[in-house]
Amino acid sequence: MKKPTPPAEIPEIRAGQSVELLKELHILTRDGKLNQDSRRKLKQVYHLYQFIEPLLDGAQTLVDHGAGKSYLGFILYDLYFKERDAGEIVGIETRTELVEKSRELADRLSFPRMRFLACTVEDSLSSSELPETVDVVTALHACNTATDDAIRFALTRNARHIVLVPCCQAEVAATMRARKNESLGKTPLSELWRHPIHTRELGSHLTNVLRCLLLESHGYDVTVTELVGWEHSMKNELIIASKRGAPRKNARERAEAILREFNIEELAGRFAY
């Protein structure tokens, strides 16, 4: 009978990676094997990490906002922070049961510089348990307006870098849908969202365009790219923002013009502040 391949002999796994964490993430099976699906998942993890790693140089605090099970935070700690003497990762999540599970896992893995806070978005903006300035804010697959919450937190805490993978953007599409009849009589551009499927897709795209303009209006350089191939996921947009210079007035003006053109000016408080 053939013996199971030890994790150390699996070429895709990097030296020093926590085998227990990879099992917890269902990348390795319980007996330490790597199947085709998990091999693809691991490749996606490394792909995301290659975008984030350059932003971590000198970082003292990384905040994973809307952390869920904190998988991203654990991966970043394992691949980067574990071998360094400084820097911490803080996971923010409203669901207390997920926070407790993350704390237990961090203890089990001996990841001492990981903290987890059970708090609301509003509480996170002013919490004394977080420094006034953070280095990196991440939000992976933050659903609907949770991405906007992460952006607001990052701006409030003067984050140097922001990494976002938005998901399930519904608010803009719902607002466009509610005012569709009015828009049809206002502009021929409303043909772009006359049909429900177009409303959903255009609303999702428009949401991320407005987020990028918001970040630029606060002095961030923004890069938008694919996270993984479209064959793996349609929730595939990766937004990376780095604070570089002065706020761009024209970015805010463009956002306001787009809100007017698409008849969704009521969302200015979310996208043009």
Could you report the per-residue pLDDT of 40-59, keeping only the tens digit for each? 878 888 888 999 999 999 99
Number of Cβ within 10 Å of residue 249's Cβ equals 9
For the segment 237-251, what is each residue's pLDDT rounded down to a tens digit?
999 999 998 999 999
Q: Please, what are the domains in the chain?
A: 61-271 (3.40.50.150)
Among residues 32, 105, 31, 33, which one has the least CA distance to residue 68?
Answer: 105
Q: What is the pLDDT of residue 141?
A: 86
Q: What is the pLDDT of residue 9?
A: 67
Token pair 């998990």: residue: 38
Q: What is the pLDDT of residue 227?
A: 84
Q: What is the pLDDT of residue 41?
A: 78
pLDDT for residue 24 is more than 70: yes
Cβ 110 vs Cβ 133: under 8 Å: no
Indicate the SS3 state at residue 111: coil
Q: Model confidence at 2, in pLDDT bands (50, 70, 90)?
A: very low
Measured CA distances, 266 to 45, 58, 145 (Å): 37, 40, 15
Give percent of the chain with pLDDT exceeding 90. 76
- Give pTM, 2 decimals: 0.91
Q: What is the pLDDT of residue 87?
A: 96
